[in-house]
């Protein structure tokens, strides 16, 4: 029998056997290997709808951000981080920054994931005053080693990338980078470099 046709014996996880969990471990491998495909599919969905009021799609915003990062000589972690920094918008618009960070966190440097996780509050500098919110809310992170990096990410790549005339690279250009990053071993300490902040 094909292993794909096998199922576990349990109806509650606590009743699973070693054989059950070994089976799941093997069956999960192809699914994990397709993570990049699912991420790219979600990006394509971002290109199908322009959010009310905006002049470009969410996909185009990500492409512009990533194109700007690449044009400045950023490495692959930053380029993919810029491309995917709003990937959570579709399912978690109220906390998309944290959602997006969790998508990339196992595969990119700690500094990149931290920046994506916090870019929402950093972006408030540009618009919060229009809602009578605190534009300096990000100052609570002033002493964090990634503060200046996140501020630069927002200024140079994020807030500047809503231009319908900007000539960004297409998604196909970035697809090999996305695949390369998501093919990495998840949570590899050599990749994550926890606590290390080197800037953009």
Mean pLDDT of 169-185: 97
Total-model pTM: 0.90
If one compares 118 and 50, the residue with the highest pLDDT of the two is 118
pLDDT tens across 85-130, in order?
999 988 888 889 999 999 999 999 999 999 999 999 999 999 999 9
Q: Residue 84 CA to chain centroid, in angstroms?
A: 4
- Please report the domains of the chain, with CATH numbers, ordered by start residue: 32-192 (1.10.3210.10)
| Reported confidence tier of residue 154, pLDDT bands at 50, 70, 90 | very high
Joined together, the tokens standing for residue 147 give 């503060």
Examine the pLDDT at 1 and tell me if it is beyond 50: no
Is 23 buried (19+), middle (13-18) or exposed (0-12) by CB count in 10 A? Answer: middle
Q: What is the mean pLDDT of the chain?
A: 92
Examine the pLDDT at 165 and tell me if it is beyond 90: yes
Phi, psi of 170 (to 5 degrees): -75, 165
Closest by alpha carbon to 88, among 56, 52, 46?
46
pLDDT tens across 18-36, in order?
988 888 888 888 888 899 9
Identify the DSSP state of 95: S
């Amino acid at each position: 029998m094909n292993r794909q046709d096998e199922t576990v014996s349990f109806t509650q996880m606590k009743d699973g056997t070693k054989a059950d969990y070994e089976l799941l471990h093997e069956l999960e491998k192809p699914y994990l290997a397709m993570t990049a495909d699912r991420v790219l599919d979600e990006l394509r969905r971002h290109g199908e709808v322009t959010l009310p009021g905006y002049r470009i799609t969410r996909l185009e915003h990500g492409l512009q951000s990533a194109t700007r990062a690449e044009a400045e000589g950023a490495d692959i972690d930053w380029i993919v981080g810029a491309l995917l920094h709003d990937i959570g918008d579709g399912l978690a618009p109220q906390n998309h920054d944290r959602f997006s960070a969790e998508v990339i966190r196992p595969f990119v440097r700690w500094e990149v994931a931290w920046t994506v996780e916090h870019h929402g509050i950093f972006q408030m500098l540009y618009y919060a005053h229009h809602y009578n919110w605190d534009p300096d809310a990000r100052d609570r992170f002033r002493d964090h080693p990634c503060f200046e990096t996140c501020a630069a990410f927002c200024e140079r790549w994020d807030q500047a990338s809503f231009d319908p005339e900007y000539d960004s690279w297409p998604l196909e250009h970035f697809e090999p980078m996305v695949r390369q990053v998501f093919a990495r071993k998840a949570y590899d300490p050599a990749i994550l470099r926890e606590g290390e902040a080197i800037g953009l």
